Amino acid sequence: MANNDFETTIALQSLRAPMDPFPVTTEERFLHEMRLRYRTYYVECNVNYGAVRLPRMFTEDFGEELCRVAVLVDSNNNQLEVLVDKIDEDVYFTRGWASVRNFYNIRSGAWVVLMYSGFGHFGINIHDRLQCPVPVPTFMPPMNLIIDKIDVSPQFVDDLSEDLHDLSYAHDERFFDLSYEKSLTYFDVTDGYLMLPHHGFGEYAFHRGLTSVKLVDDYGNAWDCSLICGTFPIKHFKVGGQWSRLVAARRLTAGSVVTIGAQPDANNETLYLILDA
Protein backbone atom coordinates (compact mmCIF):
# COMPACT_ATOMS: atom_id res chain seq x y z
CA MET A 1 0.00 0.00 0.00
CA ALA A 2 2.80 2.42 0.92
CA ASN A 3 4.52 1.67 -2.39
CA ASN A 4 1.29 2.39 -4.30
CA ASP A 5 0.91 5.71 -2.47
CA PHE A 6 4.51 6.59 -3.34
CA GLU A 7 3.94 5.77 -7.02
CA THR A 8 0.77 7.85 -7.04
CA THR A 9 2.63 10.79 -5.52
CA ILE A 10 5.38 10.53 -8.13
CA ALA A 11 2.78 10.36 -10.93
CA LEU A 12 0.95 13.45 -9.63
CA GLN A 13 4.20 15.38 -9.31
CA SER A 14 4.97 14.54 -12.92
CA LEU A 15 1.54 15.79 -14.06
CA ARG A 16 1.94 18.99 -12.04
CA ALA A 17 5.40 19.66 -13.49
CA PRO A 18 5.80 22.54 -15.98
CA MET A 19 4.50 21.95 -19.50
CA ASP A 20 6.99 21.21 -22.25
CA PRO A 21 6.07 23.64 -25.06
CA PHE A 22 7.93 21.62 -27.70
CA PRO A 23 7.47 17.88 -27.11
CA VAL A 24 9.41 15.86 -29.68
CA THR A 25 9.51 12.16 -28.83
CA THR A 26 6.49 9.90 -28.53
CA GLU A 27 6.98 9.75 -24.76
CA GLU A 28 7.21 13.55 -24.50
CA ARG A 29 4.06 14.02 -26.57
CA PHE A 30 2.18 11.47 -24.46
CA LEU A 31 3.26 13.16 -21.23
CA HIS A 32 2.34 16.57 -22.68
CA GLU A 33 -1.17 15.29 -23.47
CA MET A 34 -1.57 13.80 -20.01
CA ARG A 35 -0.44 17.02 -18.34
CA LEU A 36 -2.86 19.02 -20.49
CA ARG A 37 -5.76 16.75 -19.49
CA TYR A 38 -4.78 16.95 -15.83
CA ARG A 39 -4.67 20.76 -16.03
CA THR A 40 -8.12 21.11 -17.65
CA TYR A 41 -10.91 22.55 -15.50
CA TYR A 42 -14.51 23.63 -16.04
CA VAL A 43 -16.15 26.77 -14.68
CA GLU A 44 -19.50 28.35 -15.37
CA CYS A 45 -20.01 31.67 -17.06
CA ASN A 46 -23.12 32.89 -15.28
CA VAL A 47 -24.46 36.03 -16.96
CA ASN A 48 -25.66 37.34 -13.60
CA TYR A 49 -22.17 37.61 -12.11
CA GLY A 50 -18.91 39.26 -13.11
CA ALA A 51 -16.77 36.90 -11.02
CA VAL A 52 -16.22 33.16 -10.74
CA ARG A 53 -14.66 30.75 -8.22
CA LEU A 54 -12.14 28.29 -9.62
CA PRO A 55 -12.40 24.59 -8.71
CA ARG A 56 -10.71 23.51 -5.50
CA MET A 57 -8.70 20.89 -7.42
CA PHE A 58 -7.04 23.69 -9.37
CA THR A 59 -6.44 25.73 -6.24
CA GLU A 60 -4.84 22.82 -4.40
CA ASP A 61 -2.53 21.96 -7.31
CA PHE A 62 -1.64 25.35 -8.80
CA GLY A 63 -3.24 28.11 -6.74
CA GLU A 64 0.06 29.15 -5.18
CA GLU A 65 1.47 29.86 -8.65
CA LEU A 66 -1.02 32.63 -9.43
CA CYS A 67 -0.22 36.30 -8.90
CA ARG A 68 -2.72 39.16 -9.15
CA VAL A 69 -3.38 38.90 -12.91
CA ALA A 70 -4.14 35.88 -15.11
CA VAL A 71 -4.42 35.78 -18.90
CA LEU A 72 -7.04 33.82 -20.88
CA VAL A 73 -6.07 32.96 -24.46
CA ASP A 74 -8.51 31.55 -27.03
CA SER A 75 -7.93 29.63 -30.28
CA ASN A 76 -7.69 32.88 -32.30
CA ASN A 77 -5.05 34.25 -29.92
CA ASN A 78 -7.37 36.84 -28.39
CA GLN A 79 -6.17 37.55 -24.85
CA LEU A 80 -8.28 38.64 -21.88
CA GLU A 81 -6.75 39.69 -18.57
CA VAL A 82 -8.58 38.94 -15.33
CA LEU A 83 -7.82 39.97 -11.78
CA VAL A 84 -7.09 37.15 -9.36
CA ASP A 85 -8.38 37.31 -5.79
CA LYS A 86 -7.84 34.73 -3.07
CA ILE A 87 -10.27 34.22 -0.19
CA ASP A 88 -9.33 31.61 2.40
CA GLU A 89 -8.66 28.45 0.36
CA ASP A 90 -10.39 29.61 -2.82
CA VAL A 91 -9.22 31.44 -5.95
CA TYR A 92 -11.51 33.79 -7.87
CA PHE A 93 -11.39 35.59 -11.21
CA THR A 94 -12.95 39.01 -10.66
CA ARG A 95 -12.26 42.25 -12.57
CA GLY A 96 -12.33 41.50 -16.28
CA TRP A 97 -14.23 38.20 -15.99
CA ALA A 98 -17.47 39.82 -17.20
CA SER A 99 -15.68 40.49 -20.50
CA VAL A 100 -15.92 36.76 -21.27
CA ARG A 101 -19.71 37.01 -21.35
CA ASN A 102 -19.72 40.02 -23.67
CA PHE A 103 -16.71 39.16 -25.84
CA TYR A 104 -18.12 35.74 -26.77
CA ASN A 105 -21.71 37.00 -26.92
CA ILE A 106 -22.97 34.64 -24.22
CA ARG A 107 -26.64 35.28 -23.60
CA SER A 108 -27.88 32.57 -21.23
CA GLY A 109 -24.75 31.18 -19.62
CA ALA A 110 -22.04 28.80 -20.77
CA TRP A 111 -19.33 26.41 -19.66
CA VAL A 112 -15.76 27.67 -19.92
CA VAL A 113 -12.99 25.11 -20.27
CA LEU A 114 -9.74 26.38 -18.73
CA MET A 115 -6.47 24.68 -19.67
CA TYR A 116 -3.71 25.87 -17.36
CA SER A 117 -0.35 26.12 -19.12
CA GLY A 118 1.53 27.78 -16.26
CA PHE A 119 2.72 31.25 -15.27
CA GLY A 120 -0.87 32.50 -14.91
CA HIS A 121 -1.86 31.65 -18.51
CA PHE A 122 -4.95 29.65 -19.44
CA GLY A 123 -6.13 28.40 -22.80
CA ILE A 124 -9.92 28.64 -23.04
CA ASN A 125 -12.74 27.28 -25.12
CA ILE A 126 -16.43 27.71 -24.45
CA HIS A 127 -19.59 25.66 -24.93
CA ASP A 128 -23.11 26.93 -24.44
CA ARG A 129 -25.60 25.21 -22.13
CA LEU A 130 -26.60 22.83 -24.92
CA GLN A 131 -22.91 21.84 -25.27
CA CYS A 132 -22.53 23.56 -28.66
CA PRO A 133 -19.18 25.29 -29.26
CA VAL A 134 -19.35 29.07 -28.90
CA PRO A 135 -17.83 30.86 -31.93
CA VAL A 136 -14.51 32.59 -31.30
CA PRO A 137 -14.36 36.14 -32.73
CA THR A 138 -11.60 36.99 -35.17
CA PHE A 139 -9.71 40.28 -35.06
CA MET A 140 -6.65 41.47 -36.92
CA PRO A 141 -4.55 41.84 -34.92
CA PRO A 142 -6.04 39.63 -32.18
CA MET A 143 -7.78 41.50 -29.38
CA ASN A 144 -5.86 42.08 -26.16
CA LEU A 145 -8.10 43.17 -23.27
CA ILE A 146 -6.05 44.70 -20.46
CA ILE A 147 -7.64 45.40 -17.08
CA ASP A 148 -7.11 48.73 -15.36
CA LYS A 149 -4.57 48.21 -12.58
CA ILE A 150 -4.34 51.72 -11.15
CA ASP A 151 -5.86 50.66 -7.81
CA VAL A 152 -4.70 47.01 -7.78
CA SER A 153 -2.41 46.09 -4.91
CA PRO A 154 0.48 43.71 -5.77
CA GLN A 155 -0.51 41.73 -2.68
CA PHE A 156 -3.75 39.83 -2.29
CA VAL A 157 -6.41 41.74 -0.36
CA ASP A 158 -7.67 40.33 2.93
CA ASP A 159 -11.25 40.22 4.21
CA LEU A 160 -13.00 40.21 0.84
CA SER A 161 -16.61 39.11 0.61
CA GLU A 162 -17.25 35.70 -0.96
CA ASP A 163 -20.43 37.01 -2.59
CA LEU A 164 -19.95 37.00 -6.38
CA HIS A 165 -21.95 40.22 -6.71
CA ASP A 166 -19.53 41.96 -4.34
CA LEU A 167 -16.52 40.55 -6.20
CA SER A 168 -17.80 41.66 -9.62
CA TYR A 169 -16.26 44.86 -10.96
CA ALA A 170 -18.33 48.03 -10.80
CA HIS A 171 -17.35 51.67 -11.24
CA ASP A 172 -17.15 53.86 -8.16
CA GLU A 173 -20.12 56.24 -8.25
CA ARG A 174 -17.76 59.15 -7.58
CA PHE A 175 -16.30 58.64 -11.06
CA PHE A 176 -19.58 60.01 -12.43
CA ASP A 177 -19.82 63.28 -10.48
CA LEU A 178 -19.48 64.76 -13.97
CA SER A 179 -21.20 62.69 -16.63
CA TYR A 180 -22.31 62.86 -20.22
CA GLU A 181 -24.64 60.43 -21.99
CA LYS A 182 -24.38 60.01 -25.73
CA SER A 183 -26.12 57.97 -28.40
CA LEU A 184 -23.26 57.03 -30.70
CA THR A 185 -23.39 58.32 -34.26
CA TYR A 186 -22.34 56.54 -37.42
CA PHE A 187 -19.12 58.58 -37.41
CA ASP A 188 -18.35 57.67 -33.77
CA VAL A 189 -18.27 53.97 -34.66
CA THR A 190 -16.68 54.15 -38.13
CA ASP A 191 -14.18 57.04 -38.12
CA GLY A 192 -12.08 55.90 -35.15
CA TYR A 193 -12.99 58.87 -32.96
CA LEU A 194 -15.52 59.47 -30.21
CA MET A 195 -16.76 63.06 -30.38
CA LEU A 196 -17.32 64.79 -27.03
CA PRO A 197 -18.63 68.32 -26.49
CA HIS A 198 -16.48 71.04 -24.99
CA HIS A 199 -19.41 72.93 -23.55
CA GLY A 200 -20.89 71.30 -20.46
CA PHE A 201 -18.42 68.39 -20.33
CA GLY A 202 -14.95 68.75 -21.85
CA GLU A 203 -14.40 72.20 -20.37
CA TYR A 204 -14.79 70.69 -16.89
CA ALA A 205 -13.17 67.30 -17.55
CA PHE A 206 -9.89 68.12 -19.33
CA HIS A 207 -7.08 70.54 -18.61
CA ARG A 208 -5.48 72.58 -21.35
CA GLY A 209 -2.79 70.71 -23.25
CA LEU A 210 -3.98 67.17 -22.41
CA THR A 211 -3.23 64.91 -25.40
CA SER A 212 -4.06 61.43 -24.10
CA VAL A 213 -6.71 59.85 -21.92
CA LYS A 214 -7.45 56.37 -20.61
CA LEU A 215 -10.93 54.91 -20.99
CA VAL A 216 -12.02 52.31 -18.43
CA ASP A 217 -15.09 50.35 -19.46
CA ASP A 218 -17.72 48.83 -17.20
CA TYR A 219 -15.89 45.47 -17.06
CA GLY A 220 -12.69 47.09 -15.79
CA ASN A 221 -10.74 47.03 -19.07
CA ALA A 222 -8.44 49.96 -19.87
CA TRP A 223 -8.07 51.51 -23.33
CA ASP A 224 -5.30 54.00 -24.12
CA CYS A 225 -6.60 56.81 -26.28
CA SER A 226 -5.48 60.05 -27.85
CA LEU A 227 -7.29 63.31 -27.13
CA ILE A 228 -7.59 66.11 -29.68
CA CYS A 229 -9.24 69.48 -29.13
CA GLY A 230 -11.04 70.76 -32.24
CA THR A 231 -12.73 74.06 -33.00
CA PHE A 232 -14.72 73.48 -36.20
CA PRO A 233 -17.66 73.77 -36.52
CA ILE A 234 -17.78 74.28 -32.74
CA LYS A 235 -15.29 73.58 -29.97
CA HIS A 236 -15.14 69.84 -29.19
CA PHE A 237 -12.89 66.93 -28.22
CA LYS A 238 -12.04 63.81 -30.25
CA VAL A 239 -11.05 60.60 -28.44
CA GLY A 240 -9.01 58.33 -30.73
CA GLY A 241 -6.30 55.71 -30.21
CA GLN A 242 -7.82 52.47 -28.96
CA TRP A 243 -11.38 53.81 -29.16
CA SER A 244 -11.85 51.94 -32.46
CA ARG A 245 -10.64 48.69 -30.82
CA LEU A 246 -13.14 49.20 -28.00
CA VAL A 247 -15.90 49.71 -30.59
CA ALA A 248 -14.94 46.44 -32.26
CA ALA A 249 -14.56 44.43 -29.04
CA ARG A 250 -17.91 45.59 -27.68
CA ARG A 251 -19.67 45.44 -31.08
CA LEU A 252 -20.90 49.02 -30.74
CA THR A 253 -23.11 50.41 -33.48
CA ALA A 254 -24.78 53.69 -34.30
CA GLY A 255 -27.45 54.22 -31.66
CA SER A 256 -25.57 52.43 -28.88
CA VAL A 257 -25.68 54.53 -25.72
CA VAL A 258 -22.55 55.30 -23.73
CA THR A 259 -22.33 57.19 -20.44
CA ILE A 260 -18.98 58.88 -19.81
CA GLY A 261 -17.96 59.73 -16.26
CA ALA A 262 -15.26 62.01 -14.88
CA GLN A 263 -14.39 64.28 -11.98
CA PRO A 264 -15.39 67.95 -12.48
CA ASP A 265 -11.91 69.30 -11.72
CA ALA A 266 -10.54 69.71 -15.28
CA ASN A 267 -7.71 67.37 -14.38
CA ASN A 268 -8.87 63.98 -15.64
CA GLU A 269 -6.55 61.56 -17.38
CA THR A 270 -9.12 58.74 -17.07
CA LEU A 271 -12.72 58.54 -18.23
CA TYR A 272 -15.12 55.81 -17.09
CA LEU A 273 -17.65 54.27 -19.45
CA ILE A 274 -20.96 52.49 -19.07
CA LEU A 275 -22.11 50.93 -22.33
CA ASP A 276 -25.45 49.46 -23.29
CA ALA A 277 -23.82 46.73 -25.39
Tens digit of each residue's pLDDT (9 = 90 or more) over 58-80: 999 999 999 999 999 999 999 99
Let me know if 170 is exposed, middle or buried by CB neighbors in 10 A (0-12, 13-18, 19+): middle
Q: Are 239 and 259 in contact (CB under 8 A)?
A: no
Beta bridge partners of 112: 43, 126
Ramachandran class of 131: left when φ > 0, alpha when ψ lies in -120 to 50, beta otherwise: left
What letters, b where the CB count within 10 A reaches 16 and e where it falls short, cover 63-82? beebebbbbbbbeeebebbb
Architecture of domain 39-167: Beta Barrel (2.40)
Sign for the pseudo-dihedral over CA of 149, 154, 158, 162:
positive
Round to whole Å and give the CA distance between 255 and 249.
16
Q: Are 275 and 217 in contact (CB under 8 A)?
A: yes
Domain 173-275 superfamily per CATH: DNA-binding pseudobarrel domain (2.40.330.10)
* Mean pLDDT per 10-residue section of the chain, whose length is 277 residues: 52 78 86 91 97 97 96 98 96 98 96 96 96 97 97 94 96 95 97 96 92 97 97 94 98 97 90 89
Q: Strands, DSSP E only, in the chain?
A: 40-45, 52-53, 69-73, 79-87, 90-93, 110-118, 121-128, 144-147, 178-183, 194-197, 212-216, 221-230, 236-239, 257-262, 270-275
Q: Residues 8-51: pLDDT tens digits?
A: 655 777 788 887 778 889 888 888 899 889 999 999 999 999 99
Instruction: Give the count of beta carbons closer than 10 Å to the beta carbon of residue 56.
Output: 12
The backbone torsions φ and ψ at residue 79, rounded to the nearest 5 degrees and listed phi first, read -125, 135
**Sequence spans of domains, the chain:** 39-167, 173-275
Q: Same CATH topology for 39-167 and 173-275? A: yes
Per-residue pLDDT at 2 = 46
Q: How many CA atoms lie within 13 A of 163 on its CB side?
A: 3
Which residues have CB under 8 Å from 172's CB, separation 6+? none
Enter the pTM of the model: 0.91
Per-residue pLDDT at 6 = 44
What letters, b where the CB count within 10 A reaches 16 and e where it falls short, cover 6-37? eeeeeeeeeeeeebeeeeeeeeeeebbeebee
